[in-house]
Chain A
């Protein structure tokens, strides 16, 4: 600090030019240069400031430099002030010495050497500065000293105070301890003295109070102790210590533990139990008491030392409770804990065992638990999944979220489909079933969801859909093809028939002699042409029809019409031919067949014509052809029976095939296309009926076919080949008075191809049996008028040779007498209720035989 202060230097000279020149020389030294032009002024200046140096001119008017210096020296303030005389010259040495005497420290001769001046000034300034510093330091030291002294005084005061407090505290503590001791003594005293309290405590049965003397011998044994331990007070008092009724091993262990802890041997025995108490340490421990009967129980004992007013131990007080219950509870808890763990393990295993990927999440969709399968599905570890949002693992996170929301609102969601994506990008289609689940207080815990891998199902679905698409296109193609077929047929028809127009047409016109007469020969030839032409036309028509039916292009023109008319019309068509051949043509229509039928009239005519013309064709002179109709439930059965040449068994199967006319085998020259029967079969079957033949070679044939009475849209009846049905060509006569049973049996038989004839009473049954020669008779027993027994007897009597097997179906419980009546006349007896349809048909088939 002192360095920065400008050091004051006093320059004294009466001539201003000298002052200026000196100042100039000292200007750059950072000095505080003060001027004085006289001794007096100089002195005045010194009063105001402490100067480092005075540059004093000697030659000054009034007061010269010497005088000024002397005066300075006189004043205390300026006594030490360094003075450098500045003089022009020394007249004599006298002046020099005077100067020194006056207290100058140096002389400077004018003209002043700048270097000299500066260096001298510098020295004194430095001196001044150093002096100033020293003075400052000194001042500081003095201050510090004072402070130190003050501190010391403070400390001494504080010390005194502390000492005082300490002694006061000590005093207090001692007082306190005394008070406590006093209190305790009072307490013990009180307890000892307080009768009712003592009594109450001691008589408490819930805990044992055992008081001992200082050595531990039992002095007091309360009711509770007696109860707990099974000893009476008398048995133990003054005899044993509590150690004797405790588990000895425990006592030993306790003693050892104490010994180790305190590094001093403790005898196993009462001492071990009472050690801590004896030291005034409140002690509570668990041990096992042994009862008088040797049984044990866990106890919790609190032991305190009893002291007299003088503080000596007079005994111990042991208060114990039976800890059995607690222990039990503890054991149970452990067990429960174990069970809980088992349960948890079980639950966990179930959860893990689930084949479906299962998971739980909270209501914001954060996963809280997953099973192994879920890990596999998502390709992530359990740790990664738990805490992560459910939606992250699916290709459509929004849908996943929506699913969670749905479960939360509807409590249950089934078959919610999502696509899971694992971390490798592999996708699996899954179907979720999810529910919400709750804790015991019915608080929502979250959502439980199980995902089933439906990739296979979906794949199959897709394949199915693809297949359907394929099928659809196939269908379209088929339709197109069908259309092509139609066009083809249409074209064929036209092309084939057109030339025949000409052949037949022109021939007819010529034959009619429209344009002029013709001779016999021409007639003959024309006749031939016509015959051939017509034959050809017939062939073409048949082929086209057959083709139409076989390619499914034939449609039925269904109308409702009276059957009788059609039948008669058909007969009329052949009457001429029949008469020519001497054949008796007959129509037999059962009364119930006087009906309207819904069918394609033209086709029915075709069928009838075909069968009738065949019959007439193959029947020799004086034969008969009979057209008959009966009703069979919802069907009409029409038959054309002839007494013609018949057909061999072996040829029957060929009959309905196209082009195998059997004329080459039987007779020559029959006209016919060989297509008739094939077409007939197709037309019959198109209506939903069946056609079959029964024939005996040389005797005759019976061609039968069924036609449904009414065609209903959904009554797509059997189009099975008649030959393949077991009943083909077989006739079964059912004699049954109950109309329902009769209808049921007939229907069942009809379905299997049998011709089922019906009779509603015994008499009718017998008649029909004789008329129709059935292959089997199904006979009811209980019928009004002529019953089943009678029927069997009559049939047996009348025609034993033509033994038609009889299957008796009855609801009667037959006595041995009954059975005897039937024996030998009937083939088999069955109960109506005991036969299933299947069994019935099997029986029928077995007796009727095939082929």
Chain B
């Protein structure tokens, strides 16, 4: 059975890109375009991995992640932060907010599959 990945990202192009690549690599990919939708979908699908954009209109990634963590049903889901920022202290911030890891954008499309595999293999810390 293929593993489920949820992508929460407001930018259509990015969504298409990630979905195409990951689908190509055999994952079952779902997409949400903003935080609230993402949280709902996560609860519904219980994916093996969630790639969460940070900068989104409405509910941002940090908040969404916080909600997921706060809900016992979804607290054990793996969530990776995608961010355009590479500001210092962000890593700590993301990890503190409950993300399992973060990756700066632009994400190398060539590296993405490998990263995803790695994240799926890693036990939740």
Residues on A facing B (Cβ under 8 Å): 489-490, 493-494, 497-498, 500-502, 504-506, 508-509, 512, 514-515, 537, 548, 553-557
- Report how far A501 CA is from B21 CA in the complex, Å: 14
| Complexed CA–CA distance, A512 and B25 (Å) | 13
Q: State whether B17 touches A509 (Cβ < 8 A).
A: yes
How far does the alpha carbon of A502 sit from the alpha carbon of B110 in the complex, in Å?
A: 13
Given A501-B14, A502-B17, also A508-B110 (CB < 8 A): yes
Segment with Cβ contacts to A, from B32-40, B72-80, B84-92, B93-101:
B84-92
Whether A493 and B84, one on each chain, are in contact in the complex, defined by CB atoms closer than 8 angstroms, is yes
Q: Do B106 and A555 have beta carbons less than 8 Å apart? A: no
User: Whole-angstrom distance from the CB of A496 to the nearest CB of chain B?
Assistant: 8
Which of B11, B20, B106 meets A514, CB within 8 Å? B20
Q: Classify the interface of chain B: helix, strand, loop or mixed.
A: loop
- Asked if residues B109 and A508 are in contact (CB atoms below 8 Å), the reply is yes
Contact among A494, A505, A514, A537 for B55, CB-based, below 8 A? A494
Q: How far is the CA of A494 from the CA of B57 in the complex (A)?
A: 13
For residue A554, which residue of chain B has the nearest CB? Answer: B88
Can you pick out 27 interface pairs between chain A and chain B where the beta carbons lie within 8 Å of each other?
A489-B87, A490-B87, A493-B85, A494-B55, A494-B84, A497-B84, A497-B106, A498-B105, A500-B106, A501-B13, A501-B14, A502-B13, A502-B17, A504-B109, A505-B13, A505-B17, A505-B109, A506-B13, A508-B109, A509-B20, A512-B109, A514-B20, A514-B21, A514-B24, A515-B20, A515-B24, A548-B87
- Of all chain A residues, the one with the shortest Cβ separation from B90 is A490
- Whether the pair A512, B87 counts as a contact (CB closer than 8 A) is no
Q: Which residue of B lies closest to A556 (CB)?
A: B88
Smallest Cβ-Cβ distance to A509: which chain B residue: B109
Cβ contacts under 8 Å, B106 to chain A = 497, 500-501, 504-505, 537
Contact A501 B105 (CB under 8 A): yes
Query: Contact at B21–A509, with CB atoms within 8 Å?
Result: yes
Give the distance to chain A from B55, nearest Cβ to Cβ, in Å.
5
Chain B residue numbers with a CB within 8 Å of A509 are 17, 20-21, 109
Task: Looking at the assembled complex, report how far the CB atom of B52 sits from the nearest CB atom of chain A, in whole angstroms.
Answer: 15
Q: How large is the interface on B (under 10, 10 to 19, 20 to 34, 35 or more residues)?
A: 20 to 34
Bound state CA distance, A509 and B106, in angstroms? Answer: 14
Contact A505 B107, CB 8 Å, known A498-B14, A514-B21, A515-B24 = yes
Tell me if B108 is interfacial: C-beta within 8 Å of chain A: yes
Given A498-B84, A515-B24, A553-B87; 12 other pairs, CB 8 A cutoff: A490-B85, A494-B84, A501-B13, A501-B105, A501-B106, A502-B13, A504-B106, A505-B106, A509-B17, A509-B109, A515-B20, A555-B88
> B24–A501 contact, CB under 8 A?
no
What is the distance, in angstroms, from A323's C-beta to the closest C-beta of chain B?
105
Of all chain A residues, the one with the shortest Cβ separation from B18 is A505
| A501–B20 CB distance below 8 A | no
Find out whether the CB atom of B17 lies under 8 angstroms from the CB atom of A512: no
Q: Is the CB of A555 within 8 A of B89?
A: yes
B85 neighbours in A (Cβ, 8 Å) = 490, 493-494
Q: In chain B, what residue has the closest Cβ to A533?
A: B106
Given contacts A506-B17, A557-B88, contact A498 B11 (CB under 8 A): yes
The interface residues of chain B lying within 8 Å CB-to-CB of A504 are: 106, 109
In the assembled complex, the Cα of A704 lies from the Cα of B108 at a distance in Å of: 33
Contact in complex: B88, A501 (CB < 8 Å): no
Q: Do A501 and B17 have beta carbons less than 8 Å apart?
A: yes
**CA of A452 to CA of B73, assembled, Å:** 76
Question: Chain B residues near A514 (CB, 8 Å)?
Answer: 20-21, 24
| Residue numbers in B under 8 Å from A497 (CB-CB) | 84, 105-106
Residue of A with least CB distance to B82: A501
Across the interface, which residues of B come within 8 angstroms of A501, CB to CB? 11, 13-14, 17, 105-107
For the complex, what is the distance from the CA of A316 to the CA of B88, rounded to whole Å? 127
In the complex, are the beta carbons of A502 and B14 less than 8 A apart? yes
Give B110's nearest chain A residue, CB to CB: A508
Please indicate the chain B residues that have their CB under 8 angstroms from the CB of A506 in the complex. Answer: 13, 17
- Which chain B positions have C-beta within 8 A of A490? 85, 87
- Shortest C-beta distance, A368 to chain B (Å), equals 71
8 closest Cβ pairs, A-B complex: A502-B13, A555-B88, A494-B84, A501-B106, A508-B109, A497-B84, A505-B17, A505-B109
The distance in angstroms between the C-alpha atoms of A512 and B87, with both chains bound, is 31
- Give B58 Cβ to nearest chain A Cβ, in Å: 15
Query: How far is the CB of B9 from the nearest CB of chain A, in Å?
Result: 10
Contact B14 A505 (CB under 8 A): yes
Complexed CA–CA distance, A501 and B84 (Å): 10
Which residues of B are found within 8 Å of A537, using beta-carbon distances? 106
Closest to B91 in A: A557
Alpha-carbon gap, A494 to B88, bound state (A) = 15
In the assembly, what is the distance between CA of A493 and CA of B89, in Å?
Answer: 16
Expressed in whole angstroms, the Cα–Cα distance for A515 and B17 within the complex equals: 12
| CB closest chain-A residue, reference B10 | A498
Q: In the bound complex, what is the Cα–Cα distance between A557 and B107 (angstroms)? A: 22
Chain B: minimal CB distance from A540 (Å): 10
A494 to B104, CA, bound (A): 11
- Tell me, rounded to whole Å, the shortest Cβ–Cβ distance linking B22 to chain A: 11
Once bound together, how far apart are the Cα atoms of A508 and B86, in whole Å? 22
In the complex formed, the residue of B with least CB distance to A534 is: B106
Q: What separation, in Å, do the CA atoms of A490 and B105 have in the docked complex? A: 13
